[in-house]
Structure 1
């Protein structure tokens, strides 16, 4: 299991797929608002003049000395919902990220968001 304290050290690490293909660079980690455990990250991809942030789940992620290996192939991650490097994920688009990866989405009982940026 990945602990929230560890993720502070991950920023700017390379993010790799299961076959060690580079997807991009880790930008931000999102935690589940009910458990405060890391569940999702944004990865900076694209050309230097046109970066974007794509979302990738952290389930089964492996942290190495200078990389983070996620359990999803590069193509799937690059096709995931994205935001601009200065943007935020609107609440009404949060479910689409989970759906893209075939993961269940459960907003809070009062309708609050599942993800919080750390």
Structure 2
């Protein structure tokens, strides 16, 4: 897993899939609230005048010179739940992001959010 200190340096870098197809640009990182470890990234996708932020898990991600390679195909990432460029993921939308990638979703013991933007 990529450490938080490392991933912050990659904001603005290209995000590519496992076949090196460019998906977009790394915008922000969402950490798992229980561990404060990077869990999802948002990637700027779409046309310059109509872009959005798509979510992609960072599990299995690898950094290289000028890129972050994620372990998911471009088509899956582009179909993922997304938010506007100035938005933050609402708590009620978190389960859909996890479900898109077939990841288990559970809130904290007190019902707290699973993800936080860093």
Q: Distance in 1 between matches of 2:80 and 2:27?
A: 15
Deviations 1:36-75 (A, max 9, x none): 1100000000111001000000000001110000000000
Cα RMSD, aligned residues only: 0.6
**5+ unaligned residues in a row in structure 2: which ranges?**
none
Shift of 1:104: 0.7
User: SS state of the match for residue 54, structure 1?
Assistant: strand
2:88/2:117 contact within 8 Å kept: no
Partner Cα distance (2:29, 2:62) in 1: 14
Give the secondary-structure state (helix, strand or coil) at the position aligned to 1:23.
strand
d(CA) in 1 for partners of 2:12 and 2:106? 29
Partner of 1:18: 18
TM-score by length of 2: 0.98
Residue 104 of structure 1 aligns to a residue whose secondary structure is coil
Aligned position for 1:51: 51
Alpha-carbon deviations, 1:6-63, whole Å to 9, x = none?
Answer: 1110100100000000000000001100001100000000111001000000000001
Moved over 4 A (4+): none
Q: Give TM-score scaled by structure 1 length.
A: 0.98
Unaligned runs of 5+ in 1: none
2:101 is the alignment partner of 1:108: no
- Cα drift, residue 88 of structure 1: 1.3
Number of residues of Structure 1 aligned to a counterpart in Structure 2: 118
